[in-house]
Structure 1
């Protein structure tokens, strides 16, 4: 897994690009938490594909978030990244917030996305099944919201640190503040930015994957996405929460390989 920086024109935004593997191009768009340390999903995907995983401004070494004001800005920014990387009709895989962006890309620029895989995407709102507001949660609450196996999730999020250590927690909060500042433009107070009105425009072959034990965005949203995107397929993965790609990376890889 390697990392490099590119500069987008004409915006001048500096974007960090993580790359791994070889094979067919696969653009991976991360969720609100960014890339996981030693990301197990990227590693799994890289065993079969050439994975190109840009970080949104506000994440890692990527910068230039101040002029990204809303969903349209972020979608067009991500399409600019795709063009700068000279990716032609790649498989686009997006998790959570990244799935929301990927779906917007496929709805707006139909010919740019060859195949679409949405991993527990955000972007819809069902009154009877509200999405949990992550912006009101403390760090110790996140593992239980993101993972079916909360203890394993806690270790993964801490990446060798200790979530109970005040100094580690302070560093975690500082890093998280910048990321959530960017994510808040899309997800706060609710993640409904009108995506539901545009899903009918998606013509890319679409696979939707959901953790059966997702408590952050309940699996009923998977059925809603499937109903809204013509011809899409929904796969629910047992023993996985919202971070389905981290808990069950091989199952996600196999689902993508089988569908595309």
Structure 2
């Protein structure tokens, strides 16, 4: 994947691009995306992938004009327009799934295919979502992965979660990224999406890891119920970061819409 820049009205947007085939836009979660992302590599085998970084992620500029859910949603459409795309396959993971769903609800005639992977955006008092902003680095693997040990190794590139160098990089990066993500995820990741899901007309596939301890699989049924005709794909032995644990299986679920 190659890192490029495209200009929107408010801010230059950094994005990853690679592969060939029908256009696909991938919206990342609160953890961001990198050129080495194995899931992007899988998608790029069959699609021309565009993965924009939310402002404030990676080496991208921050954008104070993006303040709330509507701003994030309109920014998503600004990026699609700036890239010159029409009706790309829209795929979002976690926070990115929340944004993708809002984009499809706001402009239902401009999205015909939608994939939501463990999306945020709904809230159930009986199944509260853990406070992402209060979790320490050593706690993250438990909530994000089915295999906690393997997940910790993926998050830290093999270093210990208490390695001072890792912690310094992690905390500095997270302060910047989560400061942006917090505008729609804090104090809880709910901005009224449940009231807008009915507007989505796109053929929709919902993907969930059976072992997701961050956003429990019970939320999958809320999305399925809210989006007419949505198909649910449950993936065993995978957590919230199903795109890292089972990238090929998730890519196969995406291909159901080809």
Does 1:203 pair with 2:197? no
Q: Distance in 2 between matches of 1:220 and 1:28?
A: 24
User: Any gaps of 5 or more consecutive residues in structure 2?
Assistant: none
Aligned length: 258
Match of 1:132 in 2: 130
Cα distance 1:259–1:4, how it changes in 2: closer, same or farther (>3 A)? closer
Question: 1:68-96: per-residue Cα shift (whole Å, max 9, x none)?
Answer: 11000010011000000011100000000
- Match among 109, 112, 122 for residue 111 of structure 1: 109
Moved over 4 A (4+): none
- Match among 230, 233, 255 for residue 232 of structure 1: 230
- Match among 99, 107, 110 for residue 97 of structure 2: 99
Question: 1:50-69: per-residue Cα shift (whole Å, max 9, x none)?
Answer: 11000000101221322211
Match of 1:147 in 2: 145
Aligned to 1:66, what secondary structure does the other structure show?
Answer: coil
Q: Which moved more, 1:148-157 or 1:70-79?
A: 148-157
Aligned to 1:100, what secondary structure does the other structure show?
Answer: helix
- Match among 12, 25, 49 for residue 27 of structure 1: 25
Does 1:2 pair with 2:26? no
User: Any gaps of 5 or more consecutive residues in structure 1?
Assistant: none
Q: Distance in 2 between matches of 1:161 and 1:44?
A: 25
Shift of 1:124: 0.2
- The 5 Å alignment of 1:1-260 reads 1-9=1-9, 11=10, 13-36=11-34, 38-260=36-258
Shift of 1:25: 0.4
Does the 8 Å CA contact 2:2/2:16 hold for their aligned counterparts? yes
Q: Distance in 2 between matches of 1:150 and 1:182?
A: 27
CA RMSD of aligned residues (A): 1.2
Does the 8 Å CA contact 1:123/1:191 hold for their aligned counterparts? yes
Aligned to 1:67, what secondary structure does the other structure show?
Answer: coil
Question: 1:185-224: per-residue Cα shift (whole Å, max 9, x none)?
Answer: 1111111100000000000110000000100000010011
TM-score, length-scaled by structure 1:
0.96
Cα distance 1:106–1:93, how it changes in 2: closer, same or farther (>3 A)? same
TM-score, length-scaled by structure 2:
0.97
